[in-house]
A = this chain, B = another copy of it.
Amino acid sequence: MALGLFAERGFDETTVDEIAQAAGLTKRSFFRYFPAKEDAVFGGVDVTGEQVVEDIRARPADEDPWQSLHHVLRQWERQIHASEQTLASLRLIESTPSLHARLYQKRAQWRRHVSDALRDRPGVQLDSFTAELLTNAASAVLDTVSQEWLRSGGTADRAALLDRGFAFLHPAATIRARETAEPHQPGPVRADRGRHS
């Protein structure tokens, strides 16, 4: 695995040629499997959480979207951050700027899917601004949890931090229009915009 080489010499100090040769391949063949050098790290780790998008779609339609995000991400946390290997990967990512940038790209793409999933749910319609705001906020919570977890040296309780973040950032009023939900009548989009106050 390339992770061993990265752990030894660091990501930037390891050549693609070296990775490929260690795997019994050529540089050219390496790029046939991975679109970029960075993806050799992300290959094994589910950083984007594709399952999360499906899980959100599977949540009850009348549930508060913030609650849905909280619930799904807590489940996801539980599944992911278990093995020591993903832990080492995340440390490497956090300490390498180019990997961090790549993680961000994947996260941005993931956020688009999540916000689409939020907006596509039946029942209460969310406008795109609100959906993206909730998604980005949830992503911010995840990011903060990871930072704190890294600062703690991996000893912090990620689930507890996640709960704390989600509780702290609870939106003023996500869904206040339950009475207008019509599950059987898609009809025109009568989106109740997120006016607060």
Contact = CB atoms under 8 A, between A and B. Distances in A.
Interface in A85-138: 97, 100-102, 104-105, 108, 127-130, 132-133, 136-137
Interface of A is mostly: helix
A148 interface: yes
Interface stretch (A50-58, A74-82, A164-172): A164-172
Contacts of A139: 140
A196 B168 contact: yes
Contact of A193 (B101, B167, B191): B191
A73 interface: no
A133 B129 contact: no
A98 B57 CA distance: 31
A188 interface: yes
Contact of A144 (B133, B141, B170): B133
Given A101-B105, A137-B141, A170-B171, 20 more contacts: A97-B105, A100-B105, A101-B102, A128-B151, A128-B194, A129-B148, A129-B164, A129-B194, A132-B144, A133-B168, A136-B143, A137-B140, A139-B140, A167-B197, A168-B194, A169-B169, A169-B172, A170-B172, A188-B197, A191-B194
Interface of A: 97, 100-102, 104-105, 108, 127-130, 132-133, 136-137, 139-141, 143-144, 147-148, 151, 161, 164-165, 167-172, 188-189, 191, 193-197
22 contacts: A100-B108, A101-B102, A129-B148, A129-B161, A129-B194, A133-B141, A133-B165, A133-B169, A136-B140, A136-B144, A164-B194, A167-B196, A168-B172, A169-B169, A169-B172, A170-B172, A188-B197, A189-B196, A189-B197, A191-B193, A191-B195, A191-B196
